[in-house]
Amino acid sequence: MTGSPTLFTPLTIRSITLRNRLVISPMCQYSASDGLANDWHLVHLGKLAQGGAGLVFSEAIAVQCRGRITHGDLGIWSDAQTQALRRITAFISSMGSVPAIQLGHAGRKASMQRPWHGNGPLDETDIARGEKPWDVIGPSAIPLADGWLVPREMSQADIQKVVEDFASAARRAADAGFEVAEVHAAHGYLAASFLSPVSNHRNDAYGGDRAGRSRMLLETVEAVRYVWPKDKPLFVRISAVDGAPDGWSLTDTVALANDLKSLGVDVIDCSSGGILGSATAAKGPPPQPGFQVPYAQAVKDGSGLMTQAVGLVLTPAQAETIVAEEHADLVAIGREALTDPNWPLHAAVTLAGDPAWEQWPPQYGWWLSRRARLLTALGSARSSNCCADSF
């Protein structure tokens, strides 16, 4: 590589400057009680902030108690939950990363088992553990699949309450120290289930054509943007295609992105799938590395908004190509960061964006820069020995 990598060029969105284009993708930990953040969340998100990403996303944090996916989800509908998040945002900021919150409501995909308890609807085994199912809501009384809870069709008053609760949650998020907020409208959860004709069969103003099915999300985003500080960025995560035959399409997404732009959204985070089951653990043919990047490109080209690419970005070179060739403005890393929380810092070294290991926390970087010189010297010595041996 020649020149400095685009991946490690800072990016300013509104008043917030990210030190690089790498983002830790939202990842549920299913490890909370009563929606409260605890030491697991501090260490999990803290080590990812130490790992050098420009932006560190929380998992999807529920705006209503019934909007949790599982009993272990984080929530932000109470003062105690807001308070518990403060030390996490403070630590992320102290590491030079920007703390971001994903605000969500699971809709008809609420009341589920944690993945390692079965990833299905809550059942007798969960009840025996003290984790009872609860009533779920959705645009129409259509379950995710056979055997799943049938959601109660939401009244317009229910929709208004969800919109208000997203706005209250955004106000609390600013109070908790988050600098970026994202509305979760992907993966078949509540907002996505309004968008998709697969799950939205309503005949009123919140169903029907694309404009009707988009109304719930647009009202939510408008309410969030109204309370979210003007100088702070707002993202929306969308399933660019929902993966169902005759479902939500990329054309729909580009049109929606233009509507979201007019409401003051800054970045569209482009994922896919989830309306018929899990987006990340989906069955079917294995996706290819970077399979969702074309969605980020299409939305960027079709709306002029900044986009975030995500999904099977596995190598620093791949991430660099995405931003250098302007397929997207940001690259989110999920499972790679679980295997290596220092993925962004390693990427900086690999791409020659950090020759002196200065992006590492000094507690580590000072030692590692010297170790790198030693290893280089050992490597030369080894190769000269090797040559000597072979003569």
Stretch that binds ligand FMN, among 7-15, 87-95, 258-266, 334-342 (CB under 6 A): 334-342
CA distances 385 to 336, 372, 375, 390, Å, are: 36, 20, 15, 8
Is residue 172 close enough to count as binding ligand FMN by CB under 6 A? no
Is residue 333 close enough to count as binding ligand FMN by CB under 6 A? yes
CA distance 18 to 161: 34
What is the amino acid identity at position 348?
A: A
Spatial CA neighbour of 76 closest among 175, 193, 152: 175
Stretch that binds ligand FMN, among 122-130, 157-165, 182-190, 204-212 (CB under 6 A): 182-190
Is residue 242 close enough to count as binding ligand FMN by CB under 6 A? no
Q: Which is nearer to ligand FMN, 310 or 357 (CB)?
A: 310
CA distance 299 to 109: 26
Q: Give the phi and the psi of residue 16 in degrees, each rounded to 5.
A: -105, 125
CA distance 268 to 330: 10
Min dist. Cβ of residue 141 to ligand FMN (A): 25
Stretch that binds ligand FMN, among 42-50, 212-220, 327-335, 344-352 (CB under 6 A): 327-335
- Binding residues for ligand FMN restricted to 301-320, rule: CB under 6 A: 310-313
Does the annotation count 30 as an active-site position? no
CA distances 42 to 50, 99, 111, 161, 382, Å, are: 12, 12, 25, 30, 42
User: What is the CB neighbour count within 10 angstroms for residue 110?
Assistant: 28
Q: Are 162 and 63 a contacting pair, CB within 8 Å? A: yes
Is residue 341 close enough to count as binding ligand FMN by CB under 6 A? no
Among 44, 68, 237, 300, binds ligand FMN (CB under 6 A): 237
Min dist. Cβ of residue 137 to ligand FMN (A): 19
Is residue 117 close enough to count as binding ligand FMN by CB under 6 A? no
- Binding residues for ligand FMN restricted to 260-289, rule: CB under 6 A: 271, 280
Residue 160, both tokens: 């208004």
Q: Which is nearer to ligand FMN, 68 or 184 (CB)?
A: 184
Is residue 59 close enough to count as binding ligand FMN by CB under 6 A? yes
**Side-chain-side CA neighbours of residue 41 (13 Å):** 31
Active site residues: 189
Residues that bind ligand FMN (CB under 6 A): 25-28, 59-60, 102, 184, 186-187, 237, 271, 280, 310-313, 333-336
